[in-house]
């Protein structure tokens, strides 16, 4: 019985030492960051994107870019503005945009009606 308890103690000691060395050297932290850490960051990002502050800021930015788009005569600049909106706000719900002109412009960009 003592031999079994000693063996269990040694095995637990070795496991504890491996875990301690893993955390001490940072290897286990890297694994944690690549798995659980990514999931936590994605959850935090999703929560942030559903906040009123993010939505209001996105709508204000899209309205500002729409004004720049309307005032620009340069086709390259206009294409850059369209690409900026498309890449910056790909998942914004258009129904949250109260201004019908900005909403329509945003929907046209997302639908591909505006490609320049």
pLDDT digits (tens, 9 = 90+) for 68-111: 999 999 999 999 999 999 999 998 989 989 999 999 999 999 99
Please give the Cα distance from 30 to 27 (Å, whole number): 5
Please give the Cα distance from 15 to 89 (Å, whole number): 47
Q: For the chain, what percent of residues have pLDDT higher than 90? A: 44
Please give the Cα distance from 24 to 34 (Å, whole number): 17
């Amino acid at each position: 019985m003592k031999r079994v308890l000693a063996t269990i103690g040694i095995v637990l000691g070795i496991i504890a030492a491996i875990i301690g060395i893993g955390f001490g050297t940072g290897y286990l932290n890297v694994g944690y960051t690549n798995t659980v850490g990514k999931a936590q960051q994605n959850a935090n990002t999703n929560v942030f994107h559903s906040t009123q502050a993010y939505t209001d800021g996105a709508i204000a930015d899209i309205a500002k870019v729409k004004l720049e788009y309307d005032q620009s005569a340069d086709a390259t600049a206009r294409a850059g503005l369209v690409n900026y909106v498309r890449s910056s706000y790909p998942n914004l719900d258009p129904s949250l945009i109260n201004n019908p002109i900005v909403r329509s412009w945003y929907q046209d960009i997302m639908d591909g009606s505006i490609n320049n």
